[in-house]
Amino acid sequence: MHAPYCARHYDGRVTQDAFLENLQYVLQPEGWQLLNSLPPYSEDGALALNEKLRREGHPAGAVAALLTQSRLRARAADKFGEFAQRMLFTPDGLEQATRLSVAAHHAQRYAALSPQRVVDLGCGLGGDSLAFAGMGLNVLAIDRDPVTASLASINLMPFPSARAEAGDFHAYVPTTGDALWLDPARRENGRRLYDPEECSPPLSQVLELARRLGSDGAYGPVGVKLGPGIDHAALPDDCETQWVSVRGSVVEAALWCGPLARPGVRRSALLLGPGGTHRLDGTGEDSEVPVGEVGPYLYEPDGAVIRSGLLGTLAAALDLHVIDQSIAYLSGAAAQESPFLTGYRVRDVLPFGVKALKAYLRKERIGNLVIKKRGAALEPEQLRRMLRPAQNGDGRATIFLTRVAGKHSVIVAEPLKNTEAEPL
């Protein structure tokens, strides 16, 4: 369930109360029609458009609501694609919404199950419900905040099989044939919550509901969106947890219960990106990763592999090892092609020291520098200011501030591919 909106400033422009008051105009037919007639939003043209709408006689609050929604729609295009141009948003709701590419993978699990109805408890702005309805499923989307539920209703208008209403987790009564999706609130007073028992509803209550939907003590069909940093000890043994990475950024961990979980899979990593969709599965606790020296090649595992605890599974499959017991960089003697790894050819391994590193870069004429770190206290931009690499020449390199066999070290490398994956 999503927490009630906090009193705060949205984009530094309007307060929460003013935002909700102005939003009422957009919910009216005249405001809705005018919003959909506006040109694509641009920061450069916003002032001129504001003045134009005011000259046409539209109240200041109405104009603020129109431009806010236009700006949010532009931001939402990355998550919702073309759907964003017919949706309504709140800033917090957009930030927390599931991107459509991820929601589509959620929906595939439910579509394979063919439930009579999917109930999206804590639906927010309806991102997951859009994907469920797009798969032809009957959807009931519920949020405890009436304004959020109203916006979800508008966002689901293209789908006759979906409806949204205001309601509460505790008021939901399980119905035979239902499958559930929940997105518990993981923020409180602006603070991110990491303990699933502090979320609303707590994970224990969600699992209790899953038991009620099942039979003979087994879980029923329930999926739960969790934070990617969740402690593995908090996860039930008889469910599947999948960590999802989008273009190199881990965006969620999803817990799948009952028939929504894949048999024999306890943890998995799912990668979505320009190179397609890739999945790594694990059946239990990860095997220990061997420790060795820095070889000719260094590999940066995707965060979903690390979060899911499947580093050992991946390392064993590719004959790789870690360079320090506590550091998730892999190394090996051969160049490996894997969607779960970003690979580098190692040029040098140096003891860490700013003065020595500065001299090395100058000698090698390295002026274009990418700095990465894992297990080091110094921040990359802080080191960049110390090194001032641009003075050295036009050579390129990636350096890793890390530990090798317990010692602070610098690994100088170059990507195996011409470009590195861009983070979100």
Is residue 203 very low, low, confident or very high in pLDDT (cuts 50, 70, 90)? very high
* Cβ density class 255-292: b for 16+ within 10 Å, e for less: bbbbbbbeeebbbbbbbbbeeeebbbbbeeebeebeeb
- Residue 380: both structure tokens together: 């990359």
pLDDT at 396 over 60: yes
Domain spanning 97-282: which CATH class is it, in words? alpha beta
Span of 71-75, 184-188, 189-193, 292-296 with lowest mean pLDDT: 189-193
Higher-pLDDT residue of 10 and 26 is 26
Please give the average per-residue pLDDT across 163-183, as a whole number.
94
Q: Alpha-carbon distance 63 to 69, whole Å?
A: 10
User: Strand pairing of 267-273 and 240-246?
Assistant: parallel
Average per-residue pLDDT for the chain: 90
Please give the average per-residue pLDDT across 382-390, as a whole number.
90
Strand partners, 270: 244, 279
The residue count for the chain: 424
Is residue 274 very low, low, confident or very high in pLDDT (cuts 50, 70, 90)? confident
Q: Alpha-carbon distance 387 to 385, whole Å?
A: 6
Are 191 and 143 contacting, i.e. CB atoms less than 8 angstroms apart? Answer: no
Is residue 293 very low, low, confident or very high in pLDDT (cuts 50, 70, 90)? very high
Q: Which residue has the tokens 């799912």?
A: 270
pLDDT attached to residue 188? 76
pLDDT attached to residue 15? 59
pLDDT at 366 over 70: yes
Please give the average per-residue pLDDT across 164-173, as a whole number.
93
pLDDT attached to residue 351? 95
- Residue 360: both structure tokens together: 């090395």
Is residue 5 very low, low, confident or very high in pLDDT (cuts 50, 70, 90)? very low
Q: Alpha-carbon distance 403 to 352, whole Å?
A: 9
Angle at 241 between CA 235 and CA 243, to 5 degrees: 120
pLDDT at 379 over 60: yes
Span of 18-22, 59-63, 253-257 with lowest mean pLDDT: 18-22
pLDDT at 251 over 80: yes
pLDDT at 163 over 70: yes
Burial tier of 298 (Cβ tally within 10 Å: 0-12, 13-18, 19+): buried
- Among candidates 110, 86, 138, 339, which has minimal Cα distance to 221? 110
Q: Alpha-carbon distance 142 to 148, whole Å?
A: 9
Strand partners, 271: 245, 278
404-420 confidence digits (pLDDT tens): 999 999 999 999 975 44
Please give the average per-residue pLDDT across 193-213, as a whole number.
92
- Write down the number of H helices and E strands in the chain: 13, 20
- Residue 255: both structure tokens together: 């817990």
Is residue 6 very low, low, confident or very high in pLDDT (cuts 50, 70, 90)? very low
In the three-class reduction of DSSP (H, G, I as helix; E, B as strand; rest coil), residue 289 is classed as coil
Report which DSSP code applies to 391. Answer: G
Higher-pLDDT residue of 421 and 42 is 42
Enumerate the domain spans of the chain: 9-78, 97-282, 297-415
pLDDT at 284 over 60: yes
Break the chain down into helix, strand, coil percent, rounded to 5: 35, 25, 35
Please give the average per-residue pLDDT across 190-210, as a whole number.
90
Amino acid at 403: R
Q: Alpha-carbon distance 370 to 418, whole Å?
A: 13
- Residue 167: both structure tokens together: 């309601």
Higher-pLDDT residue of 190 and 364 is 364
Are 158 and 84 contacting, i.e. CB atoms less than 8 angstroms apart? Answer: no
Crossing angle of helices 354-364 and 380-387, rounded to 10°:
60
Q: Alpha-carbon distance 18 to 15, whole Å?
A: 5
Centre a 10 Å sphere on the Cβ of residue 60 and count the other Cβ atoms it contains.
11
For the chain, give the longest Cα–Cα distance. 72
pLDDT attached to residue 99? 95
pLDDT attached to residue 16? 62
pLDDT attached to residue 405? 93
Q: Alpha-carbon distance 252 to 182, whole Å?
A: 13
Q: Alpha-carbon distance 31 to 184, whole Å?
A: 32
Are 220 and 210 contacting, i.e. CB atoms less than 8 angstroms apart? Answer: yes
pLDDT at 7 over 80: no
Peptide bond into 201 cis (omega under 30): yes
Are 31 and 23 contacting, i.e. CB atoms less than 8 angstroms apart? Answer: no
pLDDT at 104 over 50: yes
The fraction of the chain above a pLDDT of 70, given in percent, is: 94
113-122 confidence digits (pLDDT tens): 999 999 999 9
pLDDT at 319 over 90: yes
pTM of the model: 0.89
Please give the average per-residue pLDDT across 14-29, as a whole number.
76
pLDDT attached to residue 9? 33
pLDDT attached to residue 35? 95
pLDDT attached to residue 419? 41
Higher-pLDDT residue of 105 and 7 is 105
